[in-house]
A and B are shown apart, each in its own frame.
Chain A
C-alpha cells in the first residue's frame, strides 16, 4: 500500500491558497506581493506542520498527559529559527513582515497539525498586539526590538495576556458585565507606580511568560470605570505561578494560575489608564477572536485530512472504508463546511489588513521610516530612545486612533466573534464526526484523530465563550438598529 498520505488538506501540495480561495485571484492582480507573501507563508508553514510538527505532536501530547508542565522546546526553537514566532514584525526590523492574511495562513496550517503547538508559536505576538493598542511609538519599537533580539539569540520571550479571574471569565470582556463583576485583583496607587494583588486563572503560557499583560481595577467596587492595563514582568517580586492545569486537550500549551502579592510595577508600565482597560481588551479581542476561528478552521482541516487518509487506507476486506457511500456523504458535508467557513475566515483576515491595525505598517510615515532607515538604526537602542520622546511617542497613538477608531474596533469584535463562533462550532462538529467515521479502531491515539476532538472543545470557550460572542454579534449587528 502507498505509504504517502492522500494529498488532501494538510497533505496537499502547497501553495493551494488560490485554489481554495479563488476570489483572491482578483486581489493578486492588484496586490501581487500581498498574495505572493501569503502563498509563500502557506508553503513554509505547511512544510513545517508536516515535517516538524506531525512527527512529534502525539508524543508531546502523551508526555503532557503525564506532566502538564512539559514543554516541547525543540519544536518551539525550530519555529523560532524560521522566525514564525515574530512573523508579524516588519521584515526590516528583523521579522517576516507578514500581513494579517499571511498570519492567518500560518495559524491555519500550524493548527491543522496541532492547535496547542500552534498556540505556543503564534501567541508570542500578544506582546506586540498589546503594545499596538495604545501604540506609543517608543513602546512598540522597544517591544519589537526585544522580540527580535530574543529570536536572534534563540531565547524564548513569552507574553501572556491575563484576562480571566477565578470569579470572572466573560465579565472581563464586555462592558455591562464588567461593571457588575466581582474582581479578584486590585491595583493600588503607590509612590512611583502601582502595587498589584490578586490572582488570574487559565492563563495561556502563564507558567512560561516573561511578561504578563493584565487588566486590573484600581477600585474593585467600580471595576469598569477603574479597569487599567498593566505590563508586568514575571520576575517582579511578589509574582508567582500556581499549578499548570491538567486539561482535556491542548495539552502542549500550558495554562496556569498566576498570583500577584504586592507586585510593584512602575507607572510607565500602566499601558491603559483606569477606565480604559475594557477598551484595551476589546481591541485585542477584535483581532484574536477571528484568529481563533482561523485556528479552528486549521483544526477541522487537519482532522478531516487525517480522516480521509485513514478511510482511504482502511481495508474492510476487499473494499475501503472510503468506498462506503455514507462515508463519502459525511466527508463531503465536512469538506463543504470547511470550504464555506474558509471564505468567511479569510475575508476577516483580509479585512484586518485593510481596516485594522495592520494598516499602521502601510501608512506613509511608517513605510518611509522602514524604507529609508537602515536596519542597524531601526534595531538600535538610540532609535527606541528617540521614539520615546514625547512627540514621536504620541504620534503613534494619534495616527493609530485615526486609522482604527472605536467604531471600527466594535465592528471587528462583532465580525471576529461571528467568525469565532462559526469556526469553533464547526471544528467541534467536524472533529466529532471524523471519529464517527473511523470508529473505535481509528480512534486509537496513534492515528492522531482523537486529539483533534479533545483539542477542539476549548476553542468554544476561550476568548470569550461562544455565548458571550453571540451577545457581541447581536448587540452590534441587530441590537444597535432596534
Chain B
C-alpha cells in the first residue's frame, strides 16, 4: 500500500465525512431518506471513493482492503449507517477481485466510475442461522436471501446460491436489481443503522441466463471467502470508527461536566473508564489493521480470522459506547447527543453476517 497516498485519502475522507455526513447523521436516523443517502453517495464520486478498490486498469483507485477499512473507520466516525453502504460496495469489489479475469472485466466496468455512471454494488451473503437461502435448480434461481444491507439503493449485487443437486455446488452470481423476477423483500425494522435498508433479496423463477455467473464450485467458494473476509473486516473498521467518536465525545464531556465538586475527568473512576475504552479501541483497531496486513509478516501461530475480528471489534465497540453513554449520564440517552444512536448502530453491526457467538463456534469447528 502506498502510505502517503492512503494518508491523503484519509484526509479527504475525513473532510468528506465532516462536511457531508455529519450534518445529516441524526436526521437520517429519524428519517432515513433514500434520496439523501443517494446524494451522499453521488457526492462521494467527486473524490472517486466508490472506485477505491477497483483496479487501475478499469479507472479505479487500485487501493487495497487496508485502505478501504481505514476509509470506513473515518466515515463511521460520523455515521455508521452511511459507512455501511460503502462497506457493502467494497465487499462486493473484494469478492469480484477474487473472480476469474474475464468476469472481472465484465463487472469492474460496471463499478468503475470513470464516466460517473458507476453503480452502487452490494453483497448478499448466505447465513447458516437463517432459514432463507437462494437455490438453483436446473438453471433457475429461486428463494429468498437472508437480509442484506443497501438492498434498495444498490444497482446490483453479488449473491451466493447453492444448487439443489447432490452434492450441492456453490454459485457466485451478479444480479442486477432490474433483473426480471428479482425484488427486495419487506425491509426489517431495526433499531440502528437506520440509514441502511436491510431487506432480503427475493428471486422468483429467475433464469440464470438473466444474471451473470461469476463462478461455480471452488471458484465461487473462493469468492465467498474473499467476500466474508472483506465484509467482516470492514464491519470491524466501521465499529471502531463509530466507537472512536464515542470516546472523543466522552472525553470532551468529562472535561466540562462538573460533579462531586470537580470536573468529572478528575475522578479516577471516569479516568479508568476512558482508559479502558481507549484500550479496547487500540486493540480493536490493531485487530482490523492486522487482518488487512498484506505483508504476511506476523508470528507463525497467528492467522487472523475476519470473523473473530468482527466479533471482537463489535463487542469492544459496544462496551466502549455503553461506557460513553454512562459518562454522559442522562444526556447520553438523548437523541441529540448522538451517542445512543451509536449504541444502536453498533449493536446491529455486531449482528451483521452471522452472530458473534456462532462465529466463534464456527471458527473453532473449522468451517
Contacts and interface: CB of A to CB of B under 8 A. Distances in A.
Interface in A136-188: 164, 167-171, 174, 176-177, 179-182
Nearest to B351: A440
Contact of B330 (A180, A202, A436): A202
Contact of B131 (A164, A180, A201, A316): A316
B28 to A, nearest CB: 14
A78 interface: no
A458 B334 CA distance: 10
Nearest to B189: A445
B238 to A, nearest CB: 15
A437 interface: yes
Contacts of B198: 440
Contacts of A445: 189-191
Contacts of B297: none
> How many B residues touch the partner, as a band?
35 or more
A454 B198 CA distance: 19
Interface string A414-450: 0000000000000010001001110111011110001
A177 B348 CA distance: 38
Contacts of A457: 322, 325, 333, 340, 343
Given A247-B333, A247-B334, A467-B326, A171 B343 contact: no
A309 interface: no
A396 B256 CA distance: 45
Interface residues of A, number: 52
B318 interface: yes
B190 A316 contact: no
A226 interface: no
Nearest to B352: A440
A182 B343 CA distance: 30
A326 interface: yes
B191 A453 contact: yes
A311 to B, nearest CB: 10
Contact of B188 (A180, A330, A428, A440): A440
A441 B188 contact: yes
B351 A432 contact: no
A123 B343 CA distance: 27
B321 to A, nearest CB: 10
Given A247-B335, A436-B355, A443 B188 contact: yes
B351 A171 contact: no
Contacts of B167: none
A366 interface: no
Nearest to B270: A467
A317 B333 contact: no
B128 interface: yes
Contact of B260 (A167, A177, A437, A458): A177
Contacts of A330: 357
A436 B350 contact: yes
B347 A435 contact: yes
B334 A444 contact: no
B86 to A, nearest CB: 19
B27 to A, nearest CB: 12
A180 B333 contact: no
Nearest to B267: A467
B330 A169 contact: yes
A454 to B, nearest CB: 6
Given A167-B258, A248-B335, A457-B325, A439 B129 contact: yes
A442 to B, nearest CB: 9
Interface in A171-227: 171, 174, 176-177, 179-182, 201-202
B326 A465 contact: yes
A428 B147 contact: no
B116 to A, nearest CB: 33
B333 A437 contact: no
A466 interface: yes
B326 A326 contact: no
A317 B132 CA distance: 9
B231 to A, nearest CB: 13
A257 to B, nearest CB: 11
A450 B190 contact: yes
A326 B351 contact: no
A450 B350 CA distance: 13
B260 A180 contact: yes
A161 B259 CA distance: 21
Given A169-B259, A443-B351, A445-B190, A432 B318 contact: yes
A330 B355 CA distance: 13
A171 B318 CA distance: 28
A315 B131 contact: yes
Contacts of A444: 188-190
A245 B332 CA distance: 12
A246 interface: yes
A441 B351 CA distance: 9
B330 A437 contact: no
Nearest to A460: B326
Interface in B289-336: 318, 322, 325-326, 329-330, 332-336
Contacts of B129: 316, 321, 439
A466 B270 CA distance: 12
Contacts of B130: 316, 439, 441
A435 B351 contact: yes
A461 interface: yes
B269 interface: yes
Contacts of A181: 261
B142 interface: no
A38 B352 CA distance: 43
Given A171-B260, A316-B128, A201 B330 contact: yes
Contacts of B340: 247-248, 454, 457
A440 B133 CA distance: 15
Contacts of A432: 318, 347
B348 A465 contact: no
A462 interface: yes
B191 A450 contact: yes
Contact of B259 (A171, A179, A466): A171
Contacts of A176: 260-261
A401 B356 CA distance: 54
Interface in A235-262: 245-249
A467 B343 CA distance: 20
A317 B131 contact: yes
B222 interface: no
A479 to B, nearest CB: 15
A182 to B, nearest CB: 6
A324 to B, nearest CB: 8
B332 A446 contact: no
A164 B330 CA distance: 9
Contact of A466 (B188, B326, B333): B326
A168 B190 contact: no
Given A171-B260, A180-B260, A440-B198, 18 more contacts: A177-B261, A179-B261, A181-B261, A182-B258, A248-B333, A248-B340, A316-B129, A326-B357, A435-B350, A436-B356, A437-B355, A440-B351, A443-B347, A445-B189, A450-B191, A453-B347, A458-B330, A466-B326
Interface of A: 164, 167-171, 174, 176-177, 179-182, 201-202, 245-249, 314-317, 321, 324, 326, 330, 428, 432, 435-437, 439-441, 443-446, 450-451, 453-454, 457-458, 460-462, 465-467
24 contacts: A164-B330, A169-B330, A171-B259, A176-B260, A177-B260, A177-B261, A201-B330, A202-B330, A316-B129, A316-B131, A326-B361, A428-B322, A432-B347, A435-B347, A436-B356, A437-B357, A439-B355, A440-B147, A440-B190, A440-B352, A443-B351, A445-B189, A446-B189, A461-B325
Closest 5 CB pairs of A and B: A180-B261, A248-B340, A445-B189, A246-B335, A202-B330
